[in-house]
Structure 1
Amino acid sequence: MILSTRNPAHQKHAKSRKRVTAVTSPMAILGVGVVVAYFFFSFQQDLSMSHHLLSSSTQSPTTHVSTLKSIDRQYSQKTKCKYHGNCPSNTVCENGVCIPFMPTNNITSNHSQQHERCVQTCLEELVKDEYFYHGTEPKIVRTFPSKSPLSGCVIQFERQRVSQPPKNIGTFHSWIDTRLRNIVRVDMEQDMTMDSNKNPDFPLVWNAYCSPSCKSDTDCPSGNRCIGRPEQRIASPVPIHSEPKSCHTSATSHNKHPEDMIIVTGSDSAYYSALQNFAASLQYWAPTRKLVIYNLGMTNLQLKNIKKWINLHALHWESGIPTTLPPHVNNLKNYAWKSIIINETVHEYKSIFWLDAGATFTGNIDSIEEIIHRNGIFLVRGQDEDMKRLSHPRTYQALGYEKETFRKGLKSPHFAGGIQGHVYPSRFIDSLVIPNAKCALDPDCIAPTGSSLGNHRYDQTSLSILAYQTTVQATHYTEYLAAGRDQLNADLFQPSEKIMWTSRGSCNFYYQNVQLKV
């Protein structure tokens, strides 16, 4: 469900090789409650599964089994999916439907060699992921085999803060080379309505589902095949090196859907030169990727030139920011338009990656798509050490929190609003994407009275509050982002491991050296 609709009166661009349309938003956009209600009912079956999970790690196995049986019955009508990222919590995509990976009966200790191997390889990966992603270490509650027909294991754990690196953790770069292998999903086990930001004493339990490593079909349970992960087919070099194969029920859910991900950006006339370099870098590194551009105030001549670009898929808001949006959205410096655009495009295109027009692609971007499709979200952070230094207290209140108590005692860097990837549906749509768009429509949330760049970060602040919610705890992938030219290959024609650069409009290399195809 989107927060705006197309105006059919606008004409499509005549060339058949690409679609260029204009978008406008009706006054009904202010009735966001209707949108959210519609979305809730359309997706509530997906969410209902996570609402009834264990209320504590000490709950008896009998109650646990009963609860999971109830959840399994709710999945008698399976949720359709294309990627793991489409699925609700504690489910994965197999054969085009989301199925629970948590066992529903006979939850007993399993000490088979196959199970122990699965747990060992999973735990080795989990310890590093928890430390480098979240600054935590897993306290194991228990382990058990995954639900049939899936093969693999589930590690149930609590997150504990650590001040020192765990033993034998290795370096950050060695972790980059060995991650994303066996861990398929990490989801919260407990009632998703609980939030430790409001109740810090509330214990949280997480479930890590891992697929077992294999070399051939004979290493897998009956009915499973030994299949290489999608990352193996992604062009090198990228910072994902997944050599092991895993056991799966079919290949269809693990085949890469090539180039489903749509690239989205927006620009006004002042950023048009940067947009040209952005588009040229995209054409160089991903020549067949589709590009969607939002007009935030470009000239007619600039729009005319954009329509000629061969990779342009659609031009939205051709007449500028719709007049049906609240007046504060026209102030580009509060960035309300960005959250609205992201919500709109993910509902329309299903798989999107937003990158600010002032940025530059500097390497193969297929690994970004793989992460988005696996996890349902792609975010980065790290531009500051603690978001509370530059975030207005009224934004916290508008989102149901208090600044003084939110993540108290924890340094929480801002997430970047200008780099986001999402799929629809996903468990992050109702918990992050739509609430952020709703906040953007409310000036008291996105840009409270008295806010400025000296004390607030607008869309980044609202995004970060939502991303840090206990029920979300979004993973960041900042290792893909270069903050400066010195972090990139000396020759920009050669790929860099950091495949995006926040060049802030300062780079014109690709526009000068790569002819924009028309």
Structure 2
Amino acid sequence: MTRIYLHVYPDSDLFKDYEDEKLKGNYTNDIKNDKYEGYEDEETDEDLTNDILPTIITGASKNHFCPLKSFLYSIHETIKESQTKTRIIVYDLGLSNKQSEELSDLQNKGYLTKVELFDWSKYPSFWNISIARGEYAWKPGMIYEISQKYPGVIIWLDSGTKVEENFFRNVNKFLDESNGFVSPSSPGLMINWTHPGIYDYFNDDHTKYDNLPNCNGASIAFDTKRTQSLIDSWYECALDKDCIAPPGSSRANHRQDQTLLTYLAAREGRICDQDRGYFGFHIHDDSNCKKEIKQYESEHNNLKEH
């Protein structure tokens, strides 16, 4: 059984709703821990302890619920076609009550297994997504959490990502080819998207990395048996703002979680030099989510439009 964890990833304007005056301040105040009471998942002890099968992670906030819903429909069909079973857990990062109810309805219909709420109180205040989107530091934190609970193959996919069935059929082959770490290249080189503060922090020489390709933060796969130390380093750095977002860095010259992961991977000789097409990833593919949802629900009688 493939485990799928869904986080809502703040791509582009994903968290713009949290940057208006109504939502300034303590983001966690908007989250009720009892939102999903009464919805029990049907996983067995075997499901929870099986570390052979992959765990998929993705995510969305209330202004990104449309891509999340489209993702759930798409990944459900893709995994079914690839003849793998799934275990899906969705992290709610601030959905409305209505959206939470809809997510619970999808849970009852088998599109996800369980909904989780991220415990922001355990982490540094700069992770608050209403301020500079939390420097995206919460993302390695979430992946680290899952690596502790469910070691094995872990796959992060943004909710705007579509995946071809070939990826699920060949994920172990891809991981074997790349020593346990898969991420397609993203535009530019490290010199373009790595603030020099990263190299100062680690006392490293930037010239060793300047011409290497960037990894892609929208789609990542780990085999924790071979990459737990990489996940640990990524997480530990994310706890320190000076590491993940050095003074003077911004989205104009740095890519926070993605930049840090690219550097840490490259330092270990893990280079992201394959394009997305090789793995079957289609990122930022969410502009037509409303149309896709309407079409899918019209073809499936057990679903209704909300």
Fold conserved (TM > 0.5)?
yes
- In structure 1, the partner of 2:172 is 370
Match of 1:411 among 211, 223, 244: 211
Match of 2:187 among 355, 380, 383: 383
Q: Tell me, what secondary structure is at the counterpart of 1:263?
A: strand
1:442–1:401 distance in 2 versus 1, CA, 3 Å:
same
Once the two structures are superposed, the pairs formed by residues 238-277 of structure 1 within 5 Å of their partners are: 260-277=53-70
Once the two structures are superposed, the pairs formed by residues 214-363 of structure 1 within 5 Å of their partners are: 260-287=53-80, 288-309=85-106, 310-317=110-117, 321-331=119-129, 332=133, 334-350=135-151, 351-363=153-165
Larger helix proportion of the pair: 2
Q: CA deviation at 1:267?
A: 1.2
Match of 2:247 among 435, 449, 461: 449
1:476–1:368 distance in 2 versus 1, CA, 3 Å:
farther
Segments of structure 1 that go 5 or more residues without pairing to the other structure are: 1-8, 20-80, 83-256, 483-496
Match for 2:162: what amino acid? Answer: T
Aligned length: 248
Q: Tell me, what secondary structure is at the counterpart of 1:267?
A: coil
1:396–1:275 distance in 2 versus 1, CA, 3 Å:
same
Paired with 2:173 and 2:273, the residues of 1 have a C-alpha distance of 9
Paired with 2:181 and 2:138, the residues of 1 have a C-alpha distance of 20
- In structure 2, the partner of 1:401 is 204
Cα-Cα RMSD: 2.8
Q: Tell me, what secondary structure is at the counterpart of 2:182?
A: strand
Match of 2:283 among 490, 502, 515: 502
Paired with 1:477 and 1:314, the residues of 2 have a C-alpha distance of 35
TM-score, structure 1 length as denominator?
Answer: 0.44
TM-score, structure 2 length as denominator?
Answer: 0.71
Q: CA deviation at 1:401?
A: 1.7
CA contact (8 A) 2:167 2:279 kept: no
Paired with 2:86 and 2:162, the residues of 1 have a C-alpha distance of 15
CA contact (8 A) 1:371 1:378 kept: no
CA contact (8 A) 2:244 2:260 kept: yes
Match for 1:355: what amino acid? Answer: L
Paired with 1:293 and 1:343, the residues of 2 have a C-alpha distance of 16
Paired with 2:236 and 2:113, the residues of 1 have a C-alpha distance of 27
CA contact (8 A) 1:378 1:475 kept: no
Match for 1:505: what amino acid? Answer: D
- In structure 2, the partner of 1:34 is none
Q: CA deviation at 1:504?
A: 4.8
Paired with 1:357 and 1:390, the residues of 2 have a C-alpha distance of 23
Paired with 2:138 and 2:285, the residues of 1 have a C-alpha distance of 18
CA contact (8 A) 1:269 1:299 kept: yes
Paired with 1:326 and 1:16, the residues of 2 have a C-alpha distance of 30
Match for 2:78: what amino acid? Answer: W
CA contact (8 A) 2:40 2:114 kept: no
CA contact (8 A) 2:71 2:160 kept: yes
CA contact (8 A) 1:297 1:321 kept: no
1:388–1:358 distance in 2 versus 1, CA, 3 Å:
same
Paired with 2:103 and 2:202, the residues of 1 have a C-alpha distance of 38
Q: CA deviation at 1:415?
A: 0.6
1:305–1:444 distance in 2 versus 1, CA, 3 Å:
same
1:295–1:467 distance in 2 versus 1, CA, 3 Å:
same
Paired with 1:300 and 1:371, the residues of 2 have a C-alpha distance of 41
Q: CA deviation at 1:353?
A: 0.8
Structure number with bigger Rg: 1
CA contact (8 A) 1:391 1:461 kept: yes
Q: In the TM superposition, what whole-angstrom CA distance separates every residue of 1:340-369 from its partner, at most 9, and x where no partner exists?
A: 111111221222211011212243432353
CA contact (8 A) 2:175 2:182 kept: no
Match for 2:284: what amino acid? Answer: S
| 1:14 aligned onto 2:39 | yes
CA contact (8 A) 1:363 1:498 kept: no
Q: CA deviation at 1:400?
A: 3.7
Q: CA deviation at 1:439?
A: 1.2
Q: Tell me, what secondary structure is at the counterpart of 1:382?
A: strand
Paired with 1:437 and 1:264, the residues of 2 have a C-alpha distance of 16
CA contact (8 A) 1:390 1:456 kept: yes
Q: CA deviation at 1:416?
A: 1.1
CA contact (8 A) 1:291 1:313 kept: yes
Once the two structures are superposed, the pairs formed by residues 95-110 of structure 1 within 5 Å of their partners are: none
1:390–1:347 distance in 2 versus 1, CA, 3 Å:
same
Q: Tell me, what secondary structure is at the counterpart of 2:242?
A: helix
Paired with 1:504 and 1:400, the residues of 2 have a C-alpha distance of 38
| 1:466 aligned onto 2:291 | no
Match for 2:270: what amino acid? Answer: A
1:418–1:13 distance in 2 versus 1, CA, 3 Å:
farther
Q: CA deviation at 1:333?
A: 5.6
Segments of structure 2 that go 5 or more residues without pairing to the other structure are: 1-32, 45-49
Q: CA deviation at 1:464?
A: 0.8
